[in-house]
Amino acid sequence: MGLSLEICVPDIGDFEEVEVVELLVAKGDIIEFDDPVISIESDKATMEIPSTAAGVVAELRVSEGDRVSEGSVLIVLDVAEDAGRSAVPESDEVALGSESVPVAPRVDAAEEASAALPSVESARPTREMSEAARHPVPDRRGLPHASPLARRHARELGVPIDSTQGSGAHGRVLIDDLNREVRDRFARDAVGIEGSARRDVAPIPALDQTVFGPVHDQPLTRIQKASGAALHRSWLNVPQMTHHDEADVTELERFRRDRRELASGRGLKLSPLLFVMKAVAVVLEEFPAFRSSLTPEFDRLIVKDYFHLGISVDTDEGLVVPVIREVDRKGIFELAEELGETAARARAHQLSPEDLRGACFTISSLGGIGGTAFSAIVNAPETAILGLSKMRIRPQWKGPPPSDLLDADGAHEPGTGLFEPRLVLPLSLSYDHRVIDGASAARFAARLSRVLSEPLRLLL
């Protein structure tokens, strides 16, 4: 006899209530393991949810436009009985006829080892808390049951294990419970901060614009909605400053143009942004505060020992910030290929959540459009963001200091110096003033300017 198997949304990170944008199967379709079932879009990213088993689609539980979260049932599969025994779905139960049959969960090695202890039982948390979990039994020290791995995880997160609601057997605290506690605390803090900000700041008064002339509504794109919330959070929570500087990139531009033909032969485009990325990686090595994040307690820094850079990409629905990883370890040609492919996927709305996570520093370039300077908003929890404006020609004095060019009568001595045209790149460095002070920002920008002025420094 066949089994009915529910295919659910797996763990997709911190995303909730994401929109179903496309159904990839229909009732009666025969699908294989890992075949895509639906396509969802959340927080600037589009991803496909695969099937965890092979079978025939018996029922669709969602439609286009519905919103789903982790654990939401997507489809029901009719599967062979032997396949049903070997398949381990993401949900905790498999529907068999009219009954629910528990399925053994996957347990990592550390949790499995801790389950061997006589006083600790191992169980994966279910969505409905068990009767045993509702009546937790403390261990001999009066603390909730938890494996050594879970206790270490609690110490690393700074979460009191005795105040965390356990969902395992006998109230056992699992790693998922600790992660959920951290997410809940952040959500409560965000609501409290935004709520207090709304109470303290008078709202913008509503005004009927139709009295002044014809109007029409234009809805915000999904990217604008997601970005707006994140930018508003950063603006409310981060005391931001912006330091403006410029770099003489005359030699760098000559170096880039000399290699343009070589890059073209490989089907690549060498943009100035690639060299800025390499220069930023060099300077971040010397200024660790610029690749750090404040802890939730605001008492220490988490310094990232990796050099993943977020790069703003302009799309038809707004800006997205995919992450280019290990910039310090990649050459210019390799970065050119990766950045080109990533930008193309961003404009085609094919980025996954993983493509948008993990940056330690962000670069936003408006050089291809224009402008002389701007103040980008720090992408919290990062501590700094670099803005690039359009390069321009500026005269630069070459010769002795002007004060040395005056004769005894105060007149200029002719022919002792001259202005020469130089290509300069405007730099706008915004930073979290709780972590970085003005002097550090000025040193960072000055060092970046020196590296960009001498392309060979990128090879050192």
Instruction: Provide the sign of the torsion angle of the four alpha carbons 339, 341, 345, 351, taken in this order.
Output: negative
What is the largest distance, in Å, between two alpha-carbon atoms of the chain? 109
**Nearest CA among 85, 10, 107 for reference residue 51:** 10
Q: Are 400 and 412 in contact (CB under 8 A)?
A: no
Q: Read off the tokens for 193.
A: 């901060």
**Which residue reads 């030699």 in tokens?**
251
Bridge partners of 398, per DSSP, are 418
> Which tokens hold the place of 407?
């004769």
Q: Is 244 a catalytic residue?
A: no
Q: What is the DSSP string of 223-264?
A: HHHHHHHHHHHHHHH--EEEEEEEEE-HHHHHHHHHTHHHHH
Nearest C-alpha neighbor of 111 from the set 139, 147, 156: 147
Q: Are 6 and 20 in contact (CB under 8 A)?
A: no
Catalytic residue among 11, 34, 404, 437: 437
- Where does residue 418 rank: exposed (0-12), middle (13-18), buried (19+ CB within 10 A)? exposed
What's the CA gap between 375 and 373, in Å, rounded?
7
382 three-state secondary structure: coil
Q: Which of 92, 177, 355, 360 is catalytic?
A: 360
List the alpha helices (DSSP H) in 249-311.
Answer: 250-258, 260-265, 272-286
360 belongs to the catalytic site: yes
CA atoms of 379 and 451, how far apart (whole Å): 24
Q: Which residues are catalytic?
A: 360, 433, 437
